[in-house]
Structure 1
Amino acid sequence: MSKFYPIKDVKEHAKYQWEIILFGLAPELHSALNQIGKHVACPIHGGIDGFRFFKDKVFKGSAICNTCGHFPDGFAVLMAVKSWDFTYCLEQVVRFLGLPDTYKSKVIDYQSKLKQPCVKTIQRDKWISQILSQNWQQAISLVDVNATIARRYFQNRGIDIMGLGAMDNALRFHPALEYFDANYQVVNTFPALLAMITSNEGNITLMRTYLDSKGTKAKVSTPKKMMPIMSSKSITGSAIRLSGEVVESELMGVAEGIETALSVMQSTQMPIWSCINAHQMATFNPPKSVKKVVIWADLDRSETGAKVANSLSANLAKKGIEALIKYPPLVLTEKQKGWDWNDALLLLGKEAFLL
């Protein structure tokens, strides 16, 4: 069966989501995406530090390489990194975003290719499934006596894990997780915080935060890394379900980072999920029981947090769900890039979280 996708519409859907689209479709870009604005090895020609994403244009997926040239948007980046033509690239983005069948109106035959994944893809998916399961099973509860480093990491941020209790379906601690460099070679092992990213289709992948023995982020080029995603799964609409399944509550919160969400949970006892980053938040889909969502947005100079919060609020309104956007009650100084709700907890205490 053939497919044609209106380019303008797809670009609008992809806007502000390129960071997570590129994460899911191109593992080769993880190093650059984890260090937006910083120079890293180019995933196309190699080298040491010629490639970077533009900080102020990450919503478009724009990047540049000193050797390969300028890539105006995420489509251009994917086409160069994956050696895809535009039509195939467009289709992969549509599938990743889970856009409806109404976008299909002409015939360009990629269906047979997509329905019969190549041997390389099958092998890759099998490896991903095995490594995800292995790492998750090796990890222990945050309240375990041997998870002191993980608790210290959160304690440094004013978060009392013992007070919050075990969140074993969402967060665990791995005592010695392998760290891979840009060439996918193991360079060392570190203690690590593992967060399970879940959608309505089940577990998707893991977010890793590498730590040192003091409970601070490990001194590596990319201390936070998302693990690869199987080709049959999509990260769109997924989250780290810190409060577990929300099946009875009509009210819940949503935030970007894990530390931000836990700050809210500790201060309000509100059920809350972490969407990983601002761009992923735009695709948040609350459980059926929820009638009101509190969006605990970041306050940043780029206004990305506000744009995504407003976008999510509008999407929720279309579903008949009330939304309340809350920003940290802090003032941005000239040198301050932004505040999140963990900053509010550390500086103002629980009183900052009053609804």
Structure 2
Amino acid sequence: MPYYNQNTTPLWRSVKEKCDNNNLWLNVFSELIGGDMAQLISNFDPSKHARTKCACPVHGGKTGKAYGLLKHSAQSGASVCNSCGIFSNGFDTIMAWTNWEFKTAVKYIAATKTVGLIQSNSTYLGPTTPKPEWKAPEIDWEAEKRKHERNLKYFEEAYSLESNQGQLAWHYFGNRGIDLSKIAPKNIKRFFGDVKLHTKMPYWAYVWDHDTGKLAEKPVMIAKLPALLSWIRNPKGQKSNLHVTYLTEDGFKATDFLWQQWCDVSDIDPDEIPASFRKKFAPDTKKIAIFH
């Protein structure tokens, strides 16, 4: 087998084109990953996203079922985690499972029997840093109880969407093109019971620490804003957490306002930093966990 000529098309591009065009990514995963990935591949269904799930290779997850393949995984190599988001191509997926850097991943993929673009000088025996067996994390039930009590308190303080104070929620949904009056009557009662409007919801964030050059270790409250509170229920219908969407007074997500507040508290001029910094560190207008 001839060695790959580095003076022609970049190796990574040739690997991607061959795997994408011939739907080879699952074969590559079988050669390089195995383990839980083999189970995902055996149950792969190109008509359904994440038919079978396993623990995320990056962070594990609380249930061991956070990660899965997508309908187009054979062609794109993409995969998805409920928390980490989408690993958008086969390289990202391989790197998540093996901890390899991009160049290393490209060479191992190119040397597989499936791809066969280069010869391997060594016998591949699996990832250089095997993933530890997933174990369910220990749950601090006292902390979970305090969080649930805090969520109940916030929800109790909030106003019904049918009240005068709750009208801001209607503006928010209207700005998104959603007409609440058209929700089926059998669903509207449950909706109003699980969704309320808090007029002064605290927003806690990790601000920038100039002494360390990174985010501070403890969050601080940077604002109190109107917020849409929505209960998240588990499969048994029990209230498990509270989803919070922070709003402006005119019914839009408070994205720019929170960014400005975060910069003010962090003593940062938003006009002097690159967009990539904001993308990485800007506070989110939506939250699941509420810090206190």
Q: Same fold (TM over 0.5)?
A: no
TM class by smaller structure: 0.3 to 0.5
Query: Larger radius of gyration, structure 1 or 2?
Result: 2
TM-score by length of 2: 0.43
